[in-house]
Chain A
Amino acid sequence: MMANISDLSRVALDSSRDSSGSGSSSRSLRVAESMKKKGETNPFRSALSSLSQVREGTTVKGNDELERNLVVVETIAFGQGLPPEAVSLLLDLALSLRSGTCSRVLKFLIPASVVPQEAIVRGVSWLCVGKMPVNAQVLFLRWVLTVFDLIDCKDHLRAIYGFIFSFVTEENLCPFICHLLYLLTMREHVQPYRVRKLLDVQAKMGRQPYLMQLLALYKVFRPELVSFSVPTRMRTGFKNHNSTWKAALTAVQRKNRAEVMADHSLTVEVKEKPTSRKRKLHHLDVPALSSAFDTNSERKVFRLQELQSFTELIQNIHNIELPAQMGSLLGSSLALHYLDCVQDESAFLRLNFWLGHSLQEEFLLCPADGSLSSLAEASQFLSIILSSQQFLQESFFSTESFLYKFLTVWDGSLLRTHFLDLLSHVPLMPSHYIKVLVFEPLMQLYFTSAVFFKCSVMECLNNMLVKWLTWHSVNALEDGLDISLNSNGTVTMTLSGFMDTIIELVRFVGRLAAEGLRLENCHVLLLSQTLTFYETVCDMFVKYGLPLVIMPPAGVFYPALLATDSLTVDRLGYIMYRYRENLTLAKKQEQQSEQTFHISRNTYQEFNQHLVAMVSCLWNSKSFLPGTGFEIDECLLTQTKVPEYGSRFDLVHHPAFFKYAIEFHQKFWPRRKRVDLASIKVGKYWNWYVEFLFSQGFDGLNDFIQVNTGHSSSSVLCQSLTLFICLSGQCHIED
């Protein structure tokens, strides 16, 4: 015993060397050290040795001897952490209740590297003896949960699963026991009698979240045994139990981590922790993927953090053990690869549980006090989630439910970019849900906020639409009817359901855009964001294979058509050109095969109406006249006293192109003193002017005019009036 203690005390003092913990090498080193310095005494060693000899019934009060020893060990524990042997020795001391210092010892039981599982097993056996007071039992279990990741290997612990399970009936211990079981459970542990027992307990204690979580895990492993339905969106089940040790443990681990990182630099691409953290209890960061370092485990199980390379991952993909702190997966790209390949339901369940917990408890419910550090921490955390989601191309459902909850109480400025980015990643859902969960709260925010917020909402919704469309074009099942919503195809949605959602989204944005533009006086940025959205919408059929064409509402179309900047009009031209392409293709397909799909007559009508309006306005100088799509009462127009109001928005006089018309005029008739723009509209000058416009880079307008006249831009030679006829003949797509 003495030799053992002497060498472990060396370890504690040399914890910087030892803490890397990589098994055998440091052990041999340790032995060598202890051989060398055997004769030397040190206080830690003697303290431990005398603590190990404490007899039952020793008094604490006024026992200076004991007190002094405890203080020595305590100091080392908080400073460097305790070596494994010391941990097991002290745990035994505490739980055997020999000295009445149980809770004190447990509170400073900070392991430096690993916790030997035998210590835990012995602890559980003390638990079974049943002499411990309840608070000591709870404290012990909390400690086990806190250091769970540091337990060197868990096979013996799993072997006594049944013993641990027997404690679920104890009301005080149940939450902790459930959590521990949750972390230990493997498929073979899920047995009918255990399920029955859990259901019994649940009947007695009500639907406690921790029981639900454990049952949900059981259901993942053996769905046939757990018949009752587990809600898909569950409240978080387990609380954090680590408050007692958190600060000390992180301090010790941080001190010891440098070398851990070096050892596993290949696997662990963990984001650096912020070095100074004022709020110790606020732990919104991703735990590092590091836990145990024992390689002589009997079972052939690999821990994710042991993997060094992608090839190793591939070779061992069938027997990989997940870390207890699922959050650490987010920081490591290898782990994400693993998640992506394996599609392990239990892994996702646990990851989601962890995420949901951190998001809800520590972010959503933790009011920002304005300190920069907590905000920075939160935003970093959200970006890690975001990048993981982008990597997996799938969102976690816990983030999702967090988003919906947060959206209802969001002020519109807190972490706006991160939040909207995450929101644009939400997966498809039935139209009814999205309306209530996303659109309604978003609309209330949108209409009370400034124009820049409106723009970012538009951008977010555009990204959402693009993601859904891409998802559809990639994941549409063979028969074209069902779309799987997650990558393993368990949740599906019918095509019509999907279309409903898309229609709902496009209509919603149409409404936001039209009213927003009105309220913001057609703000140019908002208009631009809106057009970006419609650039996605107009190509849904050609680009994404979704048989759906939705026209922009008048509230978007006309502000764009009559906008004062040329870029907007040009983009509108492009959008109308793409609509035409989509509609033509749809028409063609419809004629070829009867059964494909049907685009409603209204859509064609709307398109034609917009087209006529655009052509008569830009090309024919006939804006606002009857039959041109948007007419204004003549009396009203004459009242404005604008001469030739019909031609005020043609390509020459349109405020967006006015500048170009003047430039063209100056180039052509440099001598003329009186500018007479009307002369541009005559004969060949018109064609030259149009050529001139196209040469300025108005490609969208170019496409629009080309496709609607059937001529290449170089041969637009006809008169304006004839063009209209030819346009109406050619481009109207009759239904």
Chain B
Amino acid sequence: MDEQARAILQRVIRKIPNKKLQTALRAWDHLSSEQLESLDYAQPKWLFLENLISRCEENRLSLKDVTKLEMAYYIDNPSKGTWHAYQLFQAEGDAVSVNFTQFREQLKAHLKDVVRHVSVRTKKLEDGAVWIRIAWGDNFSKPNHLKPTYVVHYLQTSYVFVLNLMSKHKPFLYQALLLSTRHVSIKEAQLSSRSLTAMRDLLMRQYQQVFPTNQERTLKERNAPPSHPSIEKEHAECAERRHQMACEAFGDGVLPKLETAVYKLETKYRGNSNNTLNDKDELFRGVVMFSSSNLLESFRHCVSAGMAEGPVTPLLSSITQKGRNSFVITDKVPGAASQTPAHKA
């Protein structure tokens, strides 16, 4: 193992919490079970690392293998950073027929075309997700394995999820993705979260949605009758209505775990007399951010508990309906009666 491989291994091992070390190494599948047994996972990290390095050297593992370890760890623990969603548009005729090998080869080729030093590693999981790890270099320096970009794409879908992408690498990645997936354009989908699965569920509609047919039943079930005949709820009907409203907006059942929703205001401040603040056309900029460990669940609870007045404003309900959590709100065009916020891509 060379110096670089060691440095990367050290970096990776530091990142992994002690109690997850064993599973990560097992998922990596580069050490024999005896070797895995012989390691003491309770040791301080630096000591553990020394032992691990000696095992790796026994197996003659290289930098390539170490990056695989990092990838395996990220695949098992995808919530280690903020993922951003991108959407592909205008599929070409042969987009549906792209298979994994083709995609991999093309992506690598296109990336290597534009960036001389780049290291790309791909892996296809059982659920169809293609994981791509890209370590970027440039024409003069070797790929930087300390800050790799991760890309997750499900073939034949129009969404790509990206972690740790620097803006200077964005055009390269855009181009490579478009060419290898046979699309014409790509845009940011205005959705970001720490939870990759939540984003996937939200965008690919894999969470339990509400359909008008089963609403009655679920509501009846939810509104359990009071535990005693002499206890009665005065506002039972209202509560039911609120539940219904909440479910219409956010669905019933487990919701994808989003952490934040950001609303950028690019509106003019208007006082009571409908004057702008300083009578100029200057925008009153501001950002409203909601955050919670499970934002959609919180919204639904707020609505069903009556903390937020119903009906649910489209500003909130469009998180699930449009699959995005970052909005820009601009002033209404005079005359247009539409309540929906104007979205900028």
Contacts and interface: CB of A to CB of B under 8 A. Distances in A.
Interface of A: 64, 67-68, 71-72, 75
B117 interface: no
Given A71-B45, A71-B46, 7 more contacts: A64-B10, A64-B46, A67-B46, A68-B46, A71-B44, A72-B44, A75-B44
A64 to B, nearest CB: 7
Interface string B1-22: 0000000001000000000000
Contacts of B44: 71-72, 75
9 contacts: A64-B10, A64-B46, A67-B46, A68-B46, A71-B44, A71-B45, A71-B46, A72-B44, A75-B44
Nearest to A69: B46
A64 B50 CA distance: 12
A64 B3 CA distance: 14
Interface size class of B (residues with CB under 8 A): under 10
Nearest to B10: A64
A75 B18 CA distance: 15
Contacts of A75: 44
A181 B188 CA distance: 59
A68 B49 CA distance: 11
A576 to B, nearest CB: 49
A75 B45 CA distance: 12
A72 B45 CA distance: 11
Can you list the 7 inter-chain pairs with the closest CB atoms, starting with the nearest? A68-B46, A71-B44, A71-B46, A67-B46, A75-B44, A64-B46, A71-B45
Contacts of A64: 10, 46
Nearest to B46: A68
A138 B337 CA distance: 57
A78 to B, nearest CB: 12
Interface of B: 10, 44-46
Contacts of A72: 44
Contacts of A68: 46
B234 to A, nearest CB: 25
Nearest to A62: B7
Nearest to B45: A71
Nearest to A68: B46
Contacts of B45: 71
Nearest to B14: A67
A72 B10 CA distance: 18
Nearest to B7: A62
Contacts of A67: 46
A330 B44 CA distance: 42
A298 B44 CA distance: 43
A80 to B, nearest CB: 16
Contacts of B10: 64
A206 to B, nearest CB: 33
A50 to B, nearest CB: 14
A374 B45 CA distance: 36
A64 B45 CA distance: 11
Contacts of A71: 44-46
A152 B46 CA distance: 35
A71 B44 CA distance: 8
A294 B44 CA distance: 35
A101 to B, nearest CB: 15
A64 B14 CA distance: 12
Nearest to B49: A64
B148 to A, nearest CB: 18
B44 to A, nearest CB: 5
A71 B45 CA distance: 9
Nearest to A64: B46
B18 to A, nearest CB: 13
Nearest to B50: A68
Contacts of B46: 64, 67-68, 71
A19 B245 CA distance: 65
A649 B44 CA distance: 88
B274 to A, nearest CB: 43
A259 B10 CA distance: 42
A73 to B, nearest CB: 11
A67 B10 CA distance: 12
A75 B47 CA distance: 13
B279 to A, nearest CB: 41
A64 B10 CA distance: 10
B298 to A, nearest CB: 23
A67 B44 CA distance: 11
Nearest to B11: A62
A72 B44 CA distance: 9
Nearest to B44: A71
A68 B14 CA distance: 13
A68 B46 CA distance: 6
B52 to A, nearest CB: 14
Nearest to A72: B44
Nearest to A71: B44
A644 B99 CA distance: 112
B66 to A, nearest CB: 17
B9 to A, nearest CB: 12
A61 to B, nearest CB: 11
A503 B10 CA distance: 80
A218 to B, nearest CB: 47
A64 B46 CA distance: 8
Nearest to A43: B47
A71 B46 CA distance: 8
Nearest to A74: B44
B10, B45, B46: residue with the most chain A Cβ atoms closer than 10 Å: B46
Nearest to A75: B44
A75 B44 CA distance: 9
A75 B46 CA distance: 13
B17 to A, nearest CB: 15
A515 B68 CA distance: 82
Nearest to A67: B46
A68 B44 CA distance: 9
A67 B46 CA distance: 8
A75 B42 CA distance: 12
A320 to B, nearest CB: 45
A578 B10 CA distance: 89
A64 B44 CA distance: 13
A717 B20 CA distance: 98
A67 B13 CA distance: 15
A714 to B, nearest CB: 64
B92 to A, nearest CB: 47
A67 B45 CA distance: 10
B10, B44, B45: residue with the most chain A Cβ atoms closer than 10 Å: B44
A75 B10 CA distance: 20
A71 B47 CA distance: 10
A68 B45 CA distance: 9
